[in-house]
Structure 1
Amino acid sequence: MSTIMTILAFLLAVAISGPLARALRVPLPLIQIALGYGIAEYTGESVALNPEVFFLLLLPPLLFLDGWRIPKDGLFRDKGMVIGLALGLVVFTVLGLGTFLHWMIPAMPWAVAFAAAAILSPTDPIAVSAIASRTPIPPRLMHVLEGESLLNDASGLVCMRFAVAAALTGSFSLAQAALNFVWVALAGLAVGAVVAWGVTRSLDLVQRRIGEDAGSSILIGLLTPFAAYLTAEAIDASGILAAVAAGISMALLESTRLLAGTRVQRRAFWDTVQFATNGVIFVLLGEQLPALVDGAIQVVGETGHASPWWLAVYVTAVVGALAGLRYAWVAASMRVSAWSARRRGLPHAATDRRVVVAMSLAGVRGAVTLAGILTLPLTLDDGSPFPARDLAIFLAAGVILASLLIASFALPRLLRGIPRGDSHASEAPARRTAAAAALRAIEDHGAVETPKHPDPELYAAIATHLAEDYRRRLGHGQPHEGEAGHPPHAHDIERELRLIGVAAERRALARLRRERTIDDTSYQKLIRELDLAELRWGG
């Protein structure tokens, strides 16, 4: 199959995977993997991948978007737990699982075992979200999982980078690796922040001087993660962390002057990019499975076992080891947090064993694990094949499939009855604050403009009507539309006043966000509502 036809087949598979997942009530990634497997069986061949190109094209936008969209308040509130999972658990997993892999499969060299363990350590928020769409996960637990996956993508892939370098060169220095890690991490974060700052300030300057073009702004946004990634890689820093930092920085630095239409179009565009990119990765996993199985079976012979069923044994053992390591770390972290809270006299909830088990099983592997493992070099520096590459890739694919299946069936039962909490406690007060700001803006504007208008009675009547609308929102929390009784030309007056109200609401929400009195999820929801209202009235 030609490259163009393969790409089209992959995109078609991604397009039909959504309706199939809803109809069959099966997690979306599993449907996409099955469709990819069907493509491979139909064509009888697998796509030849260039690991570096694959990594560059697919990972930066995914990591950038994760950084952009993750709720920042949840990330900062639970930063201790998030950092512990994203950094401490990654190192714990690399050491523990790497040792276990080499012990279980002596044919897999130490460096390759640690490389495989490093790339198996990151969790995937998209896979967890696919499961959460069928079984709601408590919001705080979901925020911790999202924050963990945002940072452990970077730490796991950076650890893999050092392990691969050791496999290629045959040498490893802990001191040198530690220094390199500090450099690639800090420089990567700095590059991402600087690139995002430069892009946002440049766009803001252009918008103020010559106006805004939605298409150009969205395209520049798409190119930003690639710019951050390539710039960081050019100075031997972490392009992964640069893409993450660029996403977080863009969300924090974004100009409030951005047009509502641009935000609506950009949101739809990035939703499509995210769906297509993740879908292609999972379809590609399924398409690669037949070839991976064949290659892994050959490697099994090198381990002293003749039966291919040992592949299932290996995958089962790796999944069990990952769950055990994660359970041990999460349980210990929660006990330490409770002990620290008791020492400081702070309130703390008793550790629920079901939550610990759910945290362990919710560490689903997905797109980043697959994308990372496929970047293992094809050959060593001397030209010989990279040892156990097919087996490492097969193990990663097996872990992805197994973790998805286990989480799909186990999480609904574990989370049943666990209080979900109020994830939008700040939404109602924010609505009232925004409505009060809009009410003041309309009343102030009406008091100034009514005497100047050719039809002051009509202008005053419409201003009063809209002010009453906002008073009803303050009293009952439900907007009320009522346009009857006004002549057709009153639409222009109503449009003017409604846009003034929307602008005042947006400023009030921005102030609440700066003061951190509204959570990011509620803020984004209310801003989307205002964007749609502004577009409705021709803003």
Structure 2
Amino acid sequence: MDLVITILVLLLVVALSGAVVRILPIRLPLPLLQIATGALLARPFGLHVEFDPGLFFLLFIPPLLFADGWRIPKRELFLLRGPILALAVGLVFFTIVGVGYFVHWLIPTVPLAVAFALAAVLSPTDAVAVTSITGHATIPPRLMHVLSGEALLNDASGLVALQFAVAAELTGHFSLTTAAGDFALTALGGVAAGVFVSAAFGVVRRRLVRWSSEVDPASQVSLLLLMPFAAYLLAEHFGVSGILAAVAAGMTVNFTDVSKGGYVATRVQSVAVWSMVEFTFNGLIFVLLGMQLPGIVGNAKLDLAQAGGGELWYLAAYVAAITLALIVLRFVWVWLSLRFVLMRALHRGEQRPKVGTRLMWTAALAGVRGAITLAGVLSIPLMKAEDVPFPTRDLMIFLATGVILATLLIGAIGLPLSAKKLKLPGEDPRVKEERMARALSAEAALRGIAEEQKRVEETRDEKAIALASRVAARVVGDYQQRLEAAGEEGDVPEKARAEAGTERIMRLAALRAERRELFDLRRSHRINDETLRALIRELDLAEASLTGLHAE
């Protein structure tokens, strides 16, 4: 019973934190609020949670990585594969080597393998945290795609490197050649496992639809929720990377029939459920960290005393030094990467891109650490062997926590200032691309209407032909307005966009009036709950289609 109550309290805190952060007088990153709330639960209220690191890793890592892989734009990931891989793989190992040796030099009693493990968990970045921090400050779409791709792939590379570093500390043996071979084998095996699970899900889904002759959205979404765990466990069973399996499953699930055809309800519910899962799991990780924070600080002081002693402010100094090292290493790597790009462009006789120092500092400050770093460091085993605790584990957790907080604060202050002064193109490429897609889809709709009219005319039923003509004229008018509003420049597109904006406002007013009337009918018992739910669902979907559009 106590465990159930604790889980309910944690879920309540996570849910309330999302609302509280919006009403605070100052813009505060949500993870900071959740960590502070968790600390309050632990100290004044005495709420405590003990968890197994392996179970914690299994519960939180696969769904978060799966969701990242599912959400990331695949086209941009392929087109920007050069800079993404440079950051997601090259920068990760550059960070592990640089920060690992730096931590070992800074705190000599920390074993080198443990220092590398800390550097490995500090290498993954969090693009979602960057987006929440920047707020209304605009980051160039190309840079944001690079950061998103980096955050996805460096999660996998950093966590796989963490596993190797922990194994090196547990066994006392490490060979770079063997590790490189094992890394390639586990990586390829993990990707294969993820692709297999994704393909198997598509086959099972098609068979279920064929056997039942209908789509049950609830069962489809439930199966989708199990996919990351299935991919992870299958990969781990065969000794390959479950982390990369979860990422691969998320990236390839869109190539199955999950997002194709007319499965509207399934798609809508999938997006809603996964948004809730991401928010809840991220929030739980930070709240659990806050609950562990008082004990982490106390145990870190003990580790520090065993490491040769020192004042409490030494811990803050270590956090500041490691954070500064991460930022400097990231800036150096970005600078070197850009120099390489410029030299290659010069060698090929291509036009050299102009990149300012502000953009490089924006990319450096965007290396905010988040939930994956936290989940990774909390997954470090408690014991190295029987009755032998893992060396300086609590100190590592404290340092990782401090770096997360420091990068969140630095990002919250520095990123909006840096991003606001970036020189951006006149029009967001995403808006232009969306406008083009709307125009082409409207043209396809007009062709579809014409084909349907032709089919009706072939029936030679005069009443049906007259009815189809009247209805088609009305529907064609709507699509013609969309086509005009999707134009690039000129008086006609501007007028059409103004009309579309006004029509959107009118339609929203009408939908909301309908909703109020339906609730009044229910209160007066003229309709029952079932009728109310069916009609409200229609109105909600219609309003979502209007409010989800970008305002022109």
TM-score, normalisation: structure 1: 0.87
* 1:74 maps to which of 54, 73, 76: 76
Gaps of at least 5 residues in structure 2 are 487-496, 505-540, 547-552
Is 2:395 the counterpart of 1:391? yes
Cα distance in 1 for partners of 2:477, 2:326 equals 59
Take 2:163 and 2:216, find their aligned partners in 1: how far apart are those partners? 40
> Structure 2 residue aligned with 1:437, among 413, 421, 444?
444
Distance in 2 (alpha carbons) for counterparts of 1:453 and 1:251: 45
Give the Å deviation of 1:258.
4.5
- State the alpha-carbon separation in 1 of the partners of residues 463 and 355 from structure 2: 68
Letter in 2 for 1:436: E
Report 1:329-344 matches (<5 A). Answer: 329-344=333-348
Summarize deviations over 1:271-323 as a string: whole Å, max 9, x none. 11111011111111111111100000111112223311110011001101111
CA–CA separation in structure 2 for the residues paired with 1:203 and 1:31? 40
Q: Does 1:246 align with 2:249?
A: yes
Aligned residue type for 1:447: K
Counterparts of 1:85 and 1:141, CA distance in 2: 12
Partner Cα separation in structure 2 for residue 307 and residue 410 of structure 1: 30
Structure 1 Cα separation of the partners of residues 474 and 50 of structure 2: 65
- Shift of the alpha carbon at 1:117? 0.7
For these two proteins, the number of residue pairs brought into alignment is 489
1:472 and 2:478 are equivalent in the alignment: no
Query: 2:295 matched to 1:291?
Result: yes
Shift of 1:103: 0.8
**Is the 8 Å Cα contact of residues 63 and 243 (structure 1) preserved in structure 2?**
yes
Instruction: Specify the alignment match of 1:94 in structure 2.
Output: 96
Spell out, residue by residue over 1:335-365, the C-alpha distance to the aligned partner (whole angstroms, 9 max, x if none): 1111112222222322211111111111011
Alpha-carbon deviation of 1:120? Answer: 0.8
* 8 Å CA contact retained: 1:127, 1:364: yes
CA change 1:46–1:311 in 2 (3 A) is farther
Deviation at 1:461, TM superposition (A): 0.8
CA distance in 1, matches of 2:9, 2:271: 26
| TM-aligned CA deviation for residue 248 of structure 1 | 0.4
What residue in structure 2 maps to residue 495 of structure 1?
Answer: none
User: What do residues 392-442 of structure 1 show as CA deviations (whole Å, max 9, x unaligned)?
Assistant: 000000000000000000011111221344231211111111111110111
1:364 is aligned to 2:373: no
Query: For residues 352 and 342 of structure 2, what CA distance do their matches in structure 1 show?
Result: 6
Deviation at 1:454, TM superposition (A): 4.4
Deviation at 1:531, TM superposition (A): 9.2
Match of 2:523 in 1: none
Secondary structure of 1:42's match? coil
In structure 2, the CA distance between the partners of 1:133 and 1:452, relative to structure 1 (3 Å rule), is: farther
Aligned partners of 1:148 and 1:416: how far apart in 2? 22
Query: 1 CA distance for matches of 2:160 and 2:417?
Result: 35
Amino acid at match of 1:271: S
**Closer, same or farther in 2 for the Cα pair 1:123/1:476, shift >3 Å?**
closer
For 1:439 and 1:432, the matched residues in 2 are separated by 11
1:456 is matched with: 465
Q: Secondary structure at the match of 1:107?
A: coil
Which amino acid in the other structure matches residue 2 of structure 2? Answer: S
C-alpha deviation, 1:134, in angstroms = 4.3
Larger mean CA deviation between 427-436 and 213-222 belongs to 427-436
In the alignment, structure 1 segments of 5+ residues that lack a partner are 483-527, 534-539
Structure 1 pair 312–128 and aligned structure 2 pair: CA distance change class (3 A)? same
Conservation of the 8 A alpha-carbon contact between 2:95 and 2:326? yes
Is it true that 1:171 corresponds to 2:177 in the alignment?
no
Residue of structure 1 in register with 2:356 after alignment: 352
- Superposed CA deviations along residues 112-168 of structure 1, whole A, max 9, x for unmatched, are 111111111111122212213343322111111110010011111111111111111
Name the residue aligned to 1:489.
none
Kindly provide the amino acid, as one letter, of the partner of residue 162 in structure 1: F
Instruction: Give the AA of the match of 1:282.
Output: F
CA contact (8 A) 2:62 2:232 kept: yes
Are the aligned partners of 2:138 and 2:420 in contact in 1 as well (CA < 8 Å)? Answer: no
Instruction: Check whether the contact 1:319–1:402 (CA below 8 A) recurs between aligned residues.
Output: yes
Post-superposition shift, 1:201? 2.4
**Residue of structure 2 in register with 1:406 after alignment:** 410
Pick aligned residue for 1:159 from 152, 158, 161:
161
What is the alpha-carbon distance in structure 2 between the residues aligned to residue 131 and residue 72 of structure 1?
Answer: 24
Deviates more, 1:471-480 or 1:62-71: 471-480
Matched, 1:374 2:378: yes
Tell me how far 1:194 sits from its aligned partner: 1.0
Question: Offset at 1:7?
Answer: 1.4
Paired residue type of 1:405: L
1:50 to 2:52 alignment = yes
Give me the identity figure in percent. 47
What SS is found at the alignment partner of 2:423?
coil
Structure 1 counterpart of 2:238: 235
Q: Does 1:211 align with 2:211?
A: no
- 1:423 matched to which residue of 2? 429
1:136 is the counterpart of 2:138 = yes
Q: Secondary structure at the match of 1:380?
A: strand
Instruction: Find the counterpart in structure 2 of residue 121 from structure 1.
Output: 123
Separation of aligned partners in 2, 1:476 and 1:411: 34
Aligned partners of 1:69 and 1:251 also within 8 Å: no
CA–CA distance in structure 2, aligned partners of residues 109 and 198 of structure 1: 43
Contact 1:66 1:247 in 2 (8 A): yes
CA RMSD of aligned residues (A): 2.1
Per mean C-alpha deviation after superposition, the further-off stretch among 451-460 and 181-190 is: 451-460
1:282 aligns with 2:286: yes
Larger deviation, residues 368-377 vs 460-469: 460-469
Distance in 2 separating the partners of 1:144 and 1:376: 29
Q: Distance in 2 between matches of 1:265 and 1:167?
A: 44
Paired residues of 1:260 and 1:532 also in contact (CA < 8 A): no
Structure 1: distance between partners of 2:15 and 2:107:
39
For the 8 Å contact 1:18–1:28, the answer to whether it is kept is yes
Whether contact under 8 Å (1:335, 1:351) holds in the other structure is: no
- Alpha-carbon distance in structure 1 between the residues aligned to 2:122 and 2:381: 17
How many angstroms does 1:469 deviate by?
A: 2.3
Distance 2:242 2:134 in 1: 30
Residue 304 of structure 2 is matched in structure 1 by 300
Rate the CA distance shift 1:252–1:338 in 2: closer, same or farther, 3 A.
Answer: farther
Cα distance in 2 for residues equivalent to 1:155 and 1:309? 33
Contact 1:443/1:467 (CA < 8 Å) preserved in 2? no
Q: How many angstroms does 1:223 deviate by? A: 0.2
* Aligned AA (1:227): A
What is the SS of the residue equivalent to 2:388?
Answer: coil
Q: How far apart are 1:476 and its partner, in Å?
A: 3.1
- Work out which of the residue numbers 105, 108, 124 in structure 2 matches 1:106: 108
Residue 181 of structure 1 and its aligned partner are, at CA, apart by: 0.3
Task: Say which is worse superposed, 419-428 or 180-189, in terms of deviation.
Answer: 419-428
2:61, 2:350 → 1: CA distance? Answer: 41
Kindly report structure 1 stretches of 4+ aligned residues shifted beyond 4 Å.
478-482, 528-533
Aligned letter for 1:398?
A: G
